[in-house]
Every structure is written in C-alpha cells, then in structure tokens.
Structure 1
Amino acid sequence: MKTYARICSVIFGLMMMALCIVIALETIIRKVFNYSLGGVDELSGYAIAICAPLCFAIAAIEQSHIRINLFHMRMPRLLRASVNLIAALLLAGLALYLSVFTWRTVQDTQLFGSVAQTPWMTPLIWPQIAWLVAMLTFTFATCFLASKAALFAFQGNMDGLLRHFGPDSVEDELAAELSDLEERS
C-alpha cells in the first residue's frame, strides 16, 4: 500500500504543480498584456475535485489523518482495538457512499449532456470521470484497509489492529521526527 500511496502522491503533486504554473501564467498575462486566458478557475475546481480523494487515500494509507489520542491512549486494550476496527470500517463505508454519489453524478451528467457554465463550456463528463477514478482510488484503499482490519479482528489479532490501525505513540512520533531530522541534516 505504500507504493499505492506514493503513486497517489506523485499524481497529486504533478497536478498541483501544473495548476500553479497555469495560475502563474494567467496572473502574468493579465498584468503584462491585460488579457485573460479564462477558465483557470474552472481548471482549479477540477484539480481540487480530483486531488481531494487522492489525498484522502494517502491519509488513510499513511495513517496521517487527525486523531484525538487523549482518550484513545487511556482506553483498555480491547476497546482501543475495537475503536480502530470501527474507524476503518466507517471510513470504508464513507468512501463507498462517496463513490456511489460520484457515480450517480457522472450518470446524470452523461444523461443530460451537461456542460460547464464557463467560457470554455467544457463537457462535464470528462472531468467527472477523472473525479470518479480518483474517488474509486480512495475507495479501493479504504476497503483494502477495512478488509485487513476485519481480518485481524476475525483472527483475534489485537496487536495487529493496534499496530496497523492505531495512532502512533508519543515515542513512535518522536522517533519518526528524529529520523526525518537526521535525513535532512
């Protein structure tokens, strides 16, 4: 899954760099030539819609989403493992719901032949298909992780649930930060 997260990161990074270049060009052209390319805001919306699910997938795989550890640390071991399982299952459920919503939106767009209300009048089916692919990327990642969590629970492997799905301990976070600092030095 680390490779999967890395691929999502590269795609996200390339899209954001391209968007930054287009915005910079638009700004320069407006200031220097008093002309606008038009539609850069449209591209920005498409990029964010596509990149957001990629970021969600990365956060789920890397366990980098925000957690409130104050209560989690104080819970009994079995309850912590149970909460980790429930969180993985709920995140996969949310991803599935979002994918169904996205799919239905793409279907409606295709049915009505919708176009963007912008100067470019982009057929919305194209950016929405990319959005759907990104959402399915998120869904695949979360369903894979939820399956792994469910397998740990079925096997009675609380250590697996705690290690792979629980937040890092203070010691783990400190070790990671010191390792990053050492790499940068």
Structure 2
Amino acid sequence: MQKLYTWAERLSRAATWGSAALLFAVAAYITLDVVMRKLLNISLHGSDELAGYALAISTSWGLSFSLLRRANIRIDALYSRLPQRWTVWLDLLGLIAMGIFMAFVTWFATQMLISSATMNATASTQLQTPLIIPQGLWVAGFMLFMFVLVVLILRVVGLLVRGDTAGVRLIAGIRSVEEEVSDEVSPQTLQAIQSEVPHAR
C-alpha cells in the first residue's frame, strides 16, 4: 500500500506541475494578445475561452495534490477539542463523504463528456473548439482525484487496523498551526522566531 500511495503522490505532483504549466501558457497567450491588440491592432482571438478551459482543467488536476497535502478547508471548531482516538475516525468519515460527493461529480462530468463525444459537439465560439478536448482533460483530473482518494482511504483504514492513529493524523488529519507556519517560512526563520518567543514573554 505504501508503494501505491507513493505512486499516487508522484502522479498528483506531476498533474499539479502540468496545471501550473497550462496556466502559464494561457497567461503568456493572453499577454501576447493584449500587446498585439495595443501595438498592431491585431487580435489572436479566443484568449477568454482558452482561459476558461485552463482554469477548469487546472482546478481538477490540482485536486488530488491538494488532498494529499491536506490543503482542503475543514471546520475544526469541535474537531480540535476531541481526543485523537476520535478524530482519526472523523478523518476517515470525512474522506468517505468527500468520495461520495466526488463520485457524483465525476459521474455527471463523464456523462457530459460522453454526450459531447457522441454529438461531436463544438464550442459556439470563433475557435469552435471540439468540446471533447477540454472536457476530456477536465474529467481526467476528476478521475485522478478519485483514484488518489481511494488509495488514501485504503491507507487510512490500514493504519487504523494497526492502531497507528498518529499515522492517520499525519496523512488525513487537519493541519496544525505549526505545520501551516512551517510551510510559509524557512526553517531558519522559524527557529529564530521560536528563540525570540521566550524573550518576548
């Protein structure tokens, strides 16, 4: 299970880098379009349409990495006050609930893709983009998310069976303030802040 989890993490990271590359490419296209309109009075056309596709695709591609990094927003008003032996079961319940919801999202998105492929649908724009292309990439992100989510749930169940509540909290629990801070500042800066706290008191 550890190998499968590692593979899922690498796949999610690659998808995230692909999302970033896609957004940068669209940003460059829009910039070029604006410059050419201003200087040459020439439009490349379709920049708004491509930006919409890029936003939808990059969002779905980034979901799995956000899940593995526990970047999804969760309400912890009650959670933070419960014992860890209880919160790990809430973590599992939260993953299962998310899986049920995303299963419906993925199902309907896939049905939309199949419908577009059946009708050879194209966008009602100047580019007349075959909708199967952006929708296919969009759905691929949802499918990747579902795969990663199933792997994560199976790993959490395995850890619970072994009684490893600390392991569950590490991969599926709500991020602590210390973890949030350590992601935003360098280790040297964090160490300096911690060393100054006693003096401030």
Residue correspondence of structure 1 range 1-185 to structure 2 within 5 A? 1=6, 2-179=9-186
Residue 3 of structure 1, CA deviation:
2.1
Cα distance between partner residues in 1 of 2:172 and 2:70: 7
Contact 1:92/1:139, CA 8 A, preserved across alignment: yes
What SS does the aligned partner of 2:130 have?
coil
Q: What TM-score do you get using the length of structure 1 for normalisation?
A: 0.87
Give the C-alpha shift of residue 178 in structure 1: 4.7
CA distance in 2, matches of 1:181, 1:95: 40
Does the aligned pair in 1 maintain the 2:62–2:141 contact within 8 Å?
no
Instruction: Give yes or no for contact 1:46–1:127 (8 Å, CA) kept in 2.
Output: yes
Amino acid at match of 2:67: A
Q: What amino acid does structure 2 have at the position aligned with 1:9?
A: T
**2:188, 2:35 → 1: CA distance?**
37
For structure 1, which runs of at least 5 residues remain unmatched after alignment?
A: none
Query: Is the contact made by 2:61 and 2:138 (CA closer than 8 Å) also made in structure 1?
Result: no
Letter paired with 2:57: I
Runs of 5+ consecutive residues of structure 2 not aligned to the other structure:
1-5, 191-201
Which stretch shifts more, 96-105 or 158-167? 158-167
Distance 1:110 1:74, change over 3 A: same
Alignment length, in residue pairs? 183
Relative distance call for 1:126 and 1:169 in structure 2 (3 A) is closer
Question: Which amino acid is the alignment partner of residue 75 of structure 1?
Answer: L
Matched-pair contact (CA < 8 Å) for 2:60–2:139: no
- Secondary structure class of the residue paired with 1:70: coil
Paired residues of 1:89 and 1:146 also in contact (CA < 8 A): yes
TM-score (norm 2): 0.81
CA RMSD across the alignment = 2.1
Provide the rounded CA distance (Å) in 2 between the counterparts of 1:45 and 1:114: 17
Shift in Å at residue 152 of structure 1? Answer: 2.7
Mapped to 2, the partners of 1:147 and 1:81 lie a distance apart of 14
- Deviations 1:6-38 (Å, cap 9, x if unpaired)? 212210111011011000011111111222211
Counterpart contact for 1:5–1:62, Cα < 8 Å: no
Q: Report % sequence identity.
A: 25
- C-alpha offsets along residues 133-160 of structure 1, whole Å, 9 cap, x if unaligned? 1221122111211222233334443333
